[in-house]
Every structure is written in structure tokens, then in C-alpha cells.
Amino acid sequence: MMERREFLLASGRLVTVVVLAGVAGCKGEPKSGPVEVKFDRDSCDYCRMIITDPRFASQIRGGPKHKTFNFDDIGDAVLFLDEQPWKGEADIEFFVMDVETGKTWLDARKAYFLTDQVSPMAFGFGAVADPRPGAIDFAEMSKRVIEAGSPHLCDHDPADVAQGVQR
């Protein structure tokens, strides 16, 4: 039979493990806003290519668990969202990196898009915060992306994305 002292020591260890597990569980991604992309390591959730150029990175946060999805090009993000059954939900967040610095996240729906940019998947759009001559808004950029469809650079299968298949 376990003596009182052994019981107290064992209980103390168990409490320590539970507390540490709880603290570790609190450290995760925030519930809203963009999250850090590990460039040259994280892959695009649409085309599965490694995200290498911060100036063209984008993120969508949405779906049943308000999950964050990373993209190497705003075009991939637009096509990805267009394929989701939750695409019309009001709480979807959409971010794009400022093409000039590659350091500032912008609300993609409020950004303006320069055309004729050399972007990773050749959609050709780069985001800026303020209107510029020749820049287009989010709605026009999205329309052009959807009309163009997935580029030849992208070996994309919508069924793989829906099931979370990695290549």
C-alpha cells in the first residue's frame, strides 16, 4: 500500500505535468490576424510549393476552425478560397504582404494591387496600401484571377486541398 508521503509526491508530480501541459497548450497562434510565415520552409496551401518571397505572401483565416492557410501568391489564395464551401462566411480574414517591403501585412480586401509584377505563380499582382496609378482593387484582382484560373506552374488538384493531402 502506498504511504502518504509517496502519494503526496506522486500527486505533486502529476499536478506539475498537468500545469506544464496547460501552459504549453496556451502558446499557439492567435485567434485572429496574420501569423508568422516561415519563409523557405512553409508551403503554399494551394500549390504546395515552398513560400520563398515575402513580398507576395498571403494568408486566409477561415473555415470551421478559423484555421490559417498560407500562400505564395495572392492568386493562389483567391483560387483556394473560391473552392471552399465556407467562402461566403463573414468572419473570413484575408491578408496579403506589402509588395514594397515584404514586412507589412495588409487587409487584402482593402489593398490595391499593382499589375505586371513578377510574382511566384505568375498571376502578376503585388499589394500596396494606397491607391496608385494603374493599381486595381481587390474585387477586380479577384475577378481577373478567377477568369485566368490556375496557372501552368501549379500542379493543383482541388480534391487534394479539400482533404489536406501533401505532395
Domain that holds residue 129: 54-163
Segment 61-83, tens digit of pLDDT = 999 899 999 999 999 999 999 99
Rounded to 5 degrees, φ, ψ at 146 are -65, -40
In a domain, 127, yes or no: yes
pLDDT tens-digit series, residues 88-122: 999 999 999 999 999 999 999 999 999 999 999 98
Grid cell digits, residue 97: 504582404
Domain tally, the chain: 1
DSSP 92: -
Q: What is the pTM of this model?
A: 0.76
In a domain, 86, yes or no: yes
DSSP for 12-69 reads: HHHHHHHHHHHHHHH-S--SSS-----TTTSB-TTT--B---GGG-EEEEETTTTEEE
The answer as to whether 62 is a domain residue is yes
Instruction: Tell how many helices (H) and how many strands (E) occur in the chain.
Output: 4, 7
Would 113 be classed as within a structural domain?
Answer: yes
What SS3 class is residue 104? coil
